Chain A
Amino acid sequence: MTPELTEAIKISLLVLLIVAAVAASVMKKLVPALIVFTSFSLIMALVWILLESPDLAITEAAVGAGVSGVLFYMALRRMEQMKRSFIEKDGADGDGNDDDDKPDETDGGGENDEDQR
């Protein structure tokens, strides 16, 4: 492993990191954005190894790529459940009056979407 090869790998990983970060921010649906966020953590763990800090690499791999994604997904499910229970309680939803200020609404679970195929 020549130093130039290590530098090239480091630079390409960093570029991938930026791409993953931007992609996780601008995605409209939340579940694919969560998957991209998990891949961000994985690439970050590789970058930590190249920067010679194995403590941080182990922690980033265990927390970011493992537990954090799971917890985010559980939170999304809970949010979807709460949203549906509010809709069922209040009748038809749609106080669309103040929705100008909010960003696009996304649905939490993408299990039944046709256009994901």
Chain B
Amino acid sequence: MKDWICFFISAFFAVIGMTAFLFAAVGVFRFDHVLYRMHASALADTVGVACLTLAAVVYIGANFVSLKELAVLLLMTLSSPVSTHLLAEIEYTMGNCKKESRRIDGLGGDEK
């Protein structure tokens, strides 16, 4: 019975993770502005990686390997949003952002 519970939990997480990756891929293809694409890829990719590694951890069980998987999860959650943040900051500062594409402008700044 416990095997079935583990299997269903990991299957649930795996399906959520793959759906998130699907959304990320569709978003990267369909948006036309760079910042929109970055937003889609960062958020959905991080959620997808987290859910998939959780599915793998639950499926394998309490093992040394699953501890390494948790380390992978920690690394991806730390590094992927930070790198996307840096790219977005550079793009905002250096690129020619159109006025219409900045509806919510948290950083403020002059109109370009």
In the complex, A touching B (Cβ < 8 A): yes
Footprint of B on A, CB under 8 Å?
111-112, 114, 116-117
Query: In the complex, are the beta carbons of B94 and A117 less than 8 A apart?
Result: no
> Closest approach, in angstroms, between the C-beta of A47 and any C-beta of chain B?
20
CA of A112 to CA of B96, assembled, Å: 7
Give the number of A-B contacts (CB < 8 Å): 12
Please give 9 more A-B residue pairs, beta carbons under 8 A apart, in addition to A112-B94, A117-B32, A117-B34: A111-B90, A111-B91, A111-B94, A111-B95, A112-B95, A112-B96, A114-B96, A116-B34, A117-B33
CA of A117 to CA of B101, assembled, Å: 12
* Contact-residue size bin, chain B (C-beta under 8 Å from the other chain): under 10
By a CB distance below 8 angstroms, the chain B residues around A111 are 90-91, 94-95
By a CB distance below 8 angstroms, the chain B residues around A117 are 32-34
Q: Which residue of B lies closest to A114 (CB)?
A: B96
Q: Which residue of B lies closest to A111 (CB)?
A: B94
Q: Which residue of A lies closest to B37 (CB)?
A: A117
Find the residue from A112, A114, A116, A117 having the highest chain B CB count within 10 A: A117
By a CB distance below 8 angstroms, the chain A residues around B90 are 111
Q: Which residue of A lies closest to B35 (CB)?
A: A117
> Closest approach, in angstroms, between the C-beta of A116 and any C-beta of chain B?
7
> Closest approach, in angstroms, between the C-beta of A67 and any C-beta of chain B?
15
> Closest approach, in angstroms, between the C-beta of A7 and any C-beta of chain B?
22
CA of A112 to CA of B93, assembled, Å: 11
CA of A117 to CA of B32, assembled, Å: 6
CA of A111 to CA of B88, assembled, Å: 12
CA of A116 to CA of B96, assembled, Å: 11
- Annotate B80-111 by CB proximity to A: 1 below 8 A, 0 otherwise: 00000000001100111000000000000000
CA of A111 to CA of B93, assembled, Å: 10
12 A-B pairs with CB atoms under 8 Å apart are A111-B90, A111-B91, A111-B94, A111-B95, A112-B94, A112-B95, A112-B96, A114-B96, A116-B34, A117-B32, A117-B33, A117-B34
Top-8 shortest CB links A-B: A111-B94, A117-B32, A117-B33, A117-B34, A111-B95, A112-B96, A112-B95, A114-B96
